Amino acid sequence: MSENTQFDTLSLFTEQQTTNTTEQGLKGTLKPDKTAVAYWTKCLEIIRDNVTPHVFNTWFEPIKALYWSNNQLTVKVPSQFFCEWIEEQFYSLLQKTISQVIGEDARLQYQIVVDSNDTLEERTIKVPAFRYPPHPVQNESRSGVPGDRSLFITNLNTYYSFDNFVKGESNQLAFAAAHAVSQKPGKTRFKPLVIYGDTGLGKTHLVQAIGNSIVQKNRNARVLYITSERFTMEFINAIQNNTVNEFINLYRSIDVLIVDDIQFFSGKEKTQDNFFHTFNALHQDGKQVILTSDKPPRDLKDVDDRLVSRYHWGLIVDIQPPDLEMRMAILQRKSQNEGFELPNDIIEYIAKNVTNSIRELEGALTNLIVRYSLDNRELNIELAQEVVKGLSKKEPKPVTITEIKKLVADFYKQPVEILESKSRKHEIALARQMAIYLAKQMTQLSLKSIGSNFSNRDHSTVLHSCQTIENYLVTDPSVKSAYETLIKNLKNR
Residue from 362, 414, 428, 474 in contact with ligand ADP (CB under 6 A): 362
When asked if residue 199 is in the footprint of ligand ADP (CB under 6 A), the reply is yes
Q: DSSP alpha helices (H): ranges in 51-120?
A: 53-55, 80-101
The residue (of 170 and 204) whose beta carbon lies closer to Mg ion is 204
- The answer to whether 384 and 350 have CB atoms below 8 angstroms apart is yes
When asked if residue 293 is in the footprint of Mg ion (CB under 5 A), the reply is no
Type of residue at 3: E
Q: Which of 468, 460, 458 is nearest to 435 (CA)?
A: 468
When asked if residue 143 is in the footprint of ligand ADP (CB under 6 A), the reply is no
When asked if residue 366 is in the footprint of ligand ADP (CB under 6 A), the reply is no
Of the candidate spans 104-112, 344-352, 357-365, 409-417, the one that interacts with ligand ADP by CB under 6 A turns out to be: 357-365
DSSP β-bridge partners for residue 115: 122
Residue from 358, 369, 388, 445 in contact with ligand ADP (CB under 6 A): 358
What SS3 state is found at 16? helix
Question: What is the pattern of x (binds ligand ADP, CB under 6 A) and - over residues 154-183?
Answer: -----------xx----x------------
Residues 6+ apart with CB under 8 A from 48: 56, 60
Expressed in angstroms, the distance from the first to the final Cα of the chain is 24
- In angstroms, what is the minimal distance from the CB of 367 to ligand ADP? 14
Residue from 202, 211, 363, 451 in contact with ligand ADP (CB under 6 A): 202
- The answer to whether 21 and 124 have CB atoms below 8 angstroms apart is yes
When asked if residue 204 is in the footprint of Mg ion (CB under 5 A), the reply is yes
When asked if residue 128 is in the footprint of ligand ADP (CB under 6 A), the reply is no
- In angstroms, what is the minimal distance from the CB of 196 to Mg ion? 11
- In angstroms, what is the minimal distance from the CB of 441 to ligand ADP? 20
Instruction: Give the span between the Cα atoms of 42 and 265, in whole angstroms.
Output: 49
Instruction: Give the span between the Cα atoms of 176 and 174, in whole angstroms.
Output: 6
Can you give the C-alpha Rg of the chain in angstroms? 23
When asked if residue 330 is in the footprint of ligand ADP (CB under 6 A), the reply is yes
What SS3 state is found at 465? helix
The partner in contact with residue 297, picked from Mg ion, ligand ADP, none with C-beta cut-offs of 5 to 8 angstroms by kind, is none
Q: 192 preceded by cis ω (within 30°)?
A: yes
When asked if residue 201 is in the footprint of ligand ADP (CB under 6 A), the reply is yes
Query: Under the rule (CB under 6 A), what is the footprint of ligand ADP?
Result: 165-166, 171, 197, 199-205, 330, 358-359, 362
- Report the interface residues with Mg ion, using CB under 5 A: 203-204
